[in-house]
């Protein structure tokens, strides 16, 4: 694995992050901290951008510091690096967008325990140079964000008839709103259906 990843090109990293190794479909990682805010597109977008930036920057930092980090305490060092960036994001949000900070509640802080961040640091950044690690982190984060944005869009449109707060023509008037979509069970069902769809495509792709 290490030998292969070391020679990965930029394009491969991007494609892997977005589709082939997509954190959600391939690995079912890190849905904890973000699934909860997918009942609204704006919240999800902010959360996803924060997560992608934290992942990218932590991966780059972990990779830059890997030579000086003793192997035995590397997990602790990684957690501290991640926590450092999460604190920056949290303070920025609270200073410039207090309403959003209140909406997201504890979930910004929970990026620390998001398995994707730690997973990418451990799996890729440990054995690669800072720039590829940055890209890998960024695109893993974005691959994850795309799916969460789809979930958020489905939930918000079907549940409230709006998209990012703007009423949509058909959904806000004639559509019978599915309240269940904005409640927690909706997130589970939508994610499960998307997972089913993408895995089926993956299985077919492998057969042919």
Partner 1 sequence: MILLAANTSSIGSEVWMAVVTCFAAIFTQNILLSYFLGMCSFISVSREVKTAVGLGAAVVFVMTATTILNWMAYWWVLVPLNLEFYKYILFIIIIAAFVQLIEMIIDRYSPALYQNLGIFLPLITVNCAILGAVLWMVIREYSLIVTVGFGFGSGVGWMMAIVAMAGIRQRIDESKIPAGLRGPGITLIIAGIMALAFVGFTGVLQ
Q: How many residues does the chain have?
A: 208
121 near partner 1, rule: CB under 8 A? no
Asked if 80 is part of the footprint of partner 1 (rule: CB under 8 A), the reply reads yes
Stretch that binds partner 1, among 10-18, 56-64, 85-93, 169-177 (CB under 8 A): 85-93
Applying CB under 8 A, the site for partner 1 has a residue count of 44
Task: For residue 188, state whether it binds partner 1 (rule: CB under 8 A).
Answer: yes
SS3 state at 163 = strand
The reply on whether position 114 binds partner 1 by CB under 8 A is yes
Contact (CB, 8 A) for 2 and 127: yes
Cβ-based neighbours of 186, under 8 Å, separated by 6 or more: 39, 155, 159, 178, 180
CA pair distance 180, 15, nearest whole angstrom: 34
CA 158/CA 67 separation, integer angstroms: 50
> Cβ closer to partner 1: 142 or 191?
191
What residues pair up with 166 in beta bridges, in sequence order? 163
165 binds partner 1 (CB under 8 A): no
In the complex, the residues that contact partner 1 under the rule CB under 8 A are: 28-33, 35-36, 76, 79-80, 83-84, 86-87, 90-91, 105-106, 109-110, 112-115, 118, 180, 183-189, 191-192, 195-200, 202-203
């Amino acid at each position: 694995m290490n030998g292969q990843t070391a020679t990965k090109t930029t394009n491969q990293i991007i494609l892997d992050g977005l589709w082939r190794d997509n954190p959600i479909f391939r690995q079912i990682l890190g849905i904890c901290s973000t699934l909860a805010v997918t009942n609204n597109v704006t919240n999800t977008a902010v959360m996803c951008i924060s997560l992608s930036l934290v992942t990218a920057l932590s991966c780059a930092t972990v990779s830059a510091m890997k030579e000086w980090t003793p192997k035995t305490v590397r997990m602790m060092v990684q957690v501290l690096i991640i926590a450092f960036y999460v604190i920056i994001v949290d303070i920025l949000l609270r200073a410039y967008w207090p309403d959003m900070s209140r909406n997201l509640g504890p979930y910004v802080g929970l990026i620390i325990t998001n398995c994707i961040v730690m997973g990418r640091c451990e799996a890729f950044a440990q054995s690669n140079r800072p720039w590829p690690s940055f890209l890998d982190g960024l695109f893993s984060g974005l691959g994850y964000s795309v799916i969460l944005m789809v979930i958020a869009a489905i939930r918000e449109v079907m549940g409230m008839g709006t998209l990012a707060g703007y009423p949509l023509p058909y959904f806000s008037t004639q559509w019978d709103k599915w309240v269940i979509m904005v409640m927690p069970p909706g997130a589970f069902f939508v994610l499960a259906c998307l997972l089913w769809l993408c895995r089926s495509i993956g299985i077919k792709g492998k057969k042919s």
